[in-house]
Chains A and B, each alone.
Chain A
Amino acid sequence: MAGQEQIRPQRRDDEPDDAPEPVAPTVQNRDAEVDALLDEIDDVLESNAEQFVRGFVQKGGQ
C-alpha cells in the first residue's frame, strides 16, 4: 500500500492491540457511533463478501 496515508495516526507495532489509547471525548463518541453502525452493517452486509464482490460486474457506461 505504498503512497496510502490515513487520516488517523498509524498504530505502532509495539503497542499492545487491546490497550486503550487516550482519546478525546468527541472522538470516543464518534467511535461509539461507528461501532453501533458496524453492528447494524454486520446484520445486512452480504454474507459471502467475496462472492458478492466477484459477482458485481458491470458494463462500461458513460
Chain B
Amino acid sequence: MRRVMGIETEYGILQPGRPLANPMLLSSHVVAVHAAARDGARGKARWDYDDEDPLHDARGFHLQRASAHPSLLTDDPAAPAPSGDGPQELPRSAVEEYEDPGAANVILTNGARLYVDHAHPEYSSPEVTNPLDAVLWDRAGEQVMLQSVRGLASNPALPDVALYKNNVDGKGATYGTHENYLVDRAVPFTDLAARLIPFFVTRQVFTGAGRVGLGQRGERAGFQLSQRADYVEAEIGLETTLRRPIVNTRDEPHADPDRWRRLHVIVGDATMLEAATYVRLGTTSLVLWLLERQVADGGSGGALAALDRLALRDPVAAVQQVSHDLTLTARLDLADGRTLTALEVQRGYLEAVRTAVAHVGDEVDEQTADVLRRWESLLDRLGSDPATCAREVEWLAKLRLLEGMRRRDRLEWDHPRLAAVDLQWSDLRPERGLYHRLVGAGAVELLVTPEQVARAVVRPPEDTRAYFRGEAVSRYGGEITAASWDSVVFDVPGSSTLQRVPMRDPLRGTRAHVGDLLDASPDASALLAALGS
C-alpha cells in the first residue's frame, strides 16, 4: 500500500485553574515554544499562503468569498501560484510584514506544520506513504505538543497549559482530527463520495474513540462509540465548523490538480491507541484503492457493483444510530430496502477490497496484508466477543475502564467522575494521561517504539516531499523566509530577490531524489544553484 496521506490534529487546550483564559493566546504560546527553538536571521519562517484555496469545492465551483462563513477563510489573499519547475524569483516585501500572533506558524524539521487554528494548537503531520508511518508521525506530533507543555511549565513568566488529543468538550464544542489522502483525480467525485459514505458511517465500530455523553451538548447521559458522531449534520458539504458533512468537498490538493485530489476527511476521531490510528488510515486507504479501480485498466472484478448495494437510506441518521449502539447489532436501513448491521456493512467493504485484490492479481505488500488481516479479525471479534478488542479499539479500551468504575463505585453515566475519565484519557502528560496508565500496564498494543517516535520528532519521512521541506528547515532554516506544503521560499543574503522552490509532486523531493544534493550544499545559495542548473 503506497498512498500519500497525513493527519492534522487540533488539540484541546486548557490553562489549569483558569477556565476563562484566552485559548488563541494559549495556543500561540504552544506554537511559540517551537518557534523560539528555531535559529533564524529573520525570525521564524512564514507560511506561504499562495496555494491555499479553502473555498474550492470538489463539486466544481468556488464558494463566493462574501457568502463563505468567516471560519472557512483560512487563506490570505495572495498572488496566483507561479508555474514552472525551477526556483522562481519573488520580490521582497517593501516593508517588514506584521506578524499576527494568532497566525503563528512553524515548520518543523520533521516536515510538519505547527500552528494556531481556530483557538486550538494544531499539528499537521508531514506527508507519509503508508499507515504505519502515519502512526509514527502522528505520535511525533503528541511529543511536539508535550514539549510545548513542558517548555511553558518551565517558564514562570508564561502560562502553564494542558493539552488533550480529543475532539469534544462535552458542552457543545468540537474540533477535528482530519485525515488526508491523495486520490487519483480521474475518479469522479460524486462516485467517490457516494461509495465512501457507508464506509465512513460504519467504520466507527473499530475507529471510534468513545465518548461519555450523548447529544451535541452532552445533554443525555450514556456512552457512545464516536466523539464526532453527534456533530455530523450533512452527507456532503464544504463546511468544517458547522453543518459538518460525512464527506467534505474541500478541493485543495497542494499538488498537480490535474492528477490528484486530496480527500479531506473530517469525521474521524483522534485516537491515542496506535492500532486504532493504524487501521483507520489503513482500511480507508484500501477502500480508496478499490474506488480508484473505477478508472483503472481491468476494473474491480465486480467489487464496485457490490459496494453500490451498500448505500444507506439516511446516512446522517445512521452515523448517530451506529455510534449510540454499544451492542453493534442495530440494523441500518439501506437504500434498496434491506437492513444490515454496521459490522455487516464493513464486512461488505472488506469483501469488496479482497475481491478486487484477487482480481488484480498483484502480490500484496506486507502492510496491505497486515491491514486486511486486522480488519477481518476485528470484525470477527467485534461480532462475537468485543472485549477482546480492548487493546486495539479505543472506545472498548475506554468503556472497559468506565464499566469497571461504574461497577466498583456504583456510578450512573451522568456522574462527573466518568466524564473526567473521558477527558483526562487524552491528557498528553504521561504522569496525568489515563491512556498512559494503560501503556504502562501493557494493556494496549504498541506499533512503534519511543526511540522511533523521538527520531520522528526531528527527522522527516524519507519518501515524500516532506523530506525536502524538513531537511531544508533543518539545514538552512535561517535562510528560509516562508514554506508551505508545496513550496519553500529562500531569502539568501546578497540576492536581490527571494527564491521560491515549488514542490508540486508529493512524491518528489524524497531522500532518493535530493538527499545527495542536500548533503553537497553547505548553504541555501549552493542548493539553489544546484536546483537551478
Which A residues form the contact surface with B (CB < 8 A)? 1, 3-8, 17, 27, 30-31, 33-38, 40-41, 44-46, 49-50, 52-62
- Closest residue on chain B to residue A50 by CB atoms: B416
Q: Which of B214, B240, B420, B438 is the one whose CB lies under 8 Å from A53?
A: B420
Q: Which of B19, B175, B324, B386 is the one whose CB lies under 8 Å from A55?
A: B19
- Is A44's CB under 8 angstroms from B416's CB? no
Given the interface contacts A33-B441, A36-B441, does A60 sit within 8 Å of B241 by beta carbon? Answer: yes
**Total A-B residue contacts, Cβ distance less than 8 Å:** 139
Given the interface contacts A40-B437, A44-B431, A62-B266, does A57 sit within 8 Å of B19 by beta carbon? Answer: yes
- Is A56's CB under 8 angstroms from B14's CB? yes
B residues 371-425 with Cβ under 8 Å of A? 386-387, 390, 399-401, 403-405, 408, 410, 412-413, 416-417, 419-421, 423-424
Given the interface contacts A7-B386, A45-B417, does A61 sit within 8 Å of B118 by beta carbon? Answer: yes
- Is A55's CB under 8 angstroms from B14's CB? yes
Which B residues form the contact surface with A (CB < 8 A)? 10, 12-14, 19, 23, 71, 117-120, 122, 168-176, 178, 214, 220-223, 240-242, 266, 324-327, 386-387, 390, 399-401, 403-405, 408, 410, 412-413, 416-417, 419-421, 423-424, 431-432, 434, 437-438, 440-441, 443
> What are 10 A-B pairs at a CB distance below 8 A?
A4-B413, A5-B327, A7-B327, A34-B400, A37-B438, A41-B405, A41-B421, A53-B419, A57-B173, A60-B118
Question: In the complex, how many angstroms separate the beta carbon of A53 from the nearest chain B beta carbon?
Answer: 5
- Is A59's CB under 8 angstroms from B120's CB? yes
Given the interface contacts A40-B437, A57-B19, does A46 sit within 8 Å of B175 by beta carbon? Answer: no
For A41, list chain B residues within 8 Å (CB): 401, 405, 421, 434, 437
For B170, list chain A residues within 8 Å (CB): 53, 56
- Is B443's CB under 8 angstroms from A37's CB? yes
For A49, list chain B residues within 8 Å (CB): 416-417, 419-420
- Is A38's CB under 8 angstroms from B408's CB? yes
For B413, list chain A residues within 8 Å (CB): 1, 4
- Is A58's CB under 8 angstroms from B401's CB? no
| Cα of A57 to Cα of B169 in the assembled complex, Å | 6
Q: Which of A6, A30, A59 is the one whose CB lies under 8 Å from B326?
A: A6
Given the interface contacts A7-B399, A34-B400, A41-B434, does A62 sit within 8 Å of B408 by beta carbon? Answer: no
Question: Main secondary structure on chain B at its contact with chain A?
Answer: mixed
Question: In the complex, how many angstroms separate the beta carbon of A17 from the nearest chain B beta carbon?
Answer: 8
- Closest residue on chain A to residue B440 by CB atoms: A40
- Is B443's CB under 8 angstroms from A62's CB? no
Question: Beyond the given A1-B221, A34-B401, A45-B424, could you list 9 further A-B residue pairs with CB under 8 A, ordered by the A residue number?
Answer: A1-B412, A5-B325, A5-B327, A17-B410, A35-B404, A56-B170, A59-B175, A60-B175, A61-B122
Q: Which of B173, B327, B443 is the one whose CB lies under 8 Å from A58?
A: B173
Given the interface contacts A5-B326, A58-B23, A62-B178, does A31 sit within 8 Å of B404 by beta carbon? Answer: yes
| Cα of A58 to Cα of B122 in the assembled complex, Å | 14
- Is B23's CB under 8 angstroms from A62's CB? no
| Cα of A34 to Cα of B223 in the assembled complex, Å | 18
| Cα of A40 to Cα of B120 in the assembled complex, Å | 30
- Is B443's CB under 8 angstroms from A33's CB? yes
Q: Which of A3, A6, A56, A61 is the one whose CB lies under 8 Å from B403?
A: A6
For A62, list chain B residues within 8 Å (CB): 10, 71, 117-118, 175-176, 178, 240-241, 266
- Is B417's CB under 8 angstroms from A58's CB? no
For A52, list chain B residues within 8 Å (CB): 416, 420, 423-424
- Is A7's CB under 8 angstroms from B420's CB? no
- Is B432's CB under 8 angstroms from A44's CB? yes
- Is B241's CB under 8 angstroms from A61's CB? yes
For A8, list chain B residues within 8 Å (CB): 403
What 9 pairs between A and B have smallest CB-CB spacing? A61-B175, A59-B119, A49-B420, A55-B19, A34-B404, A58-B169, A62-B240, A50-B416, A49-B416
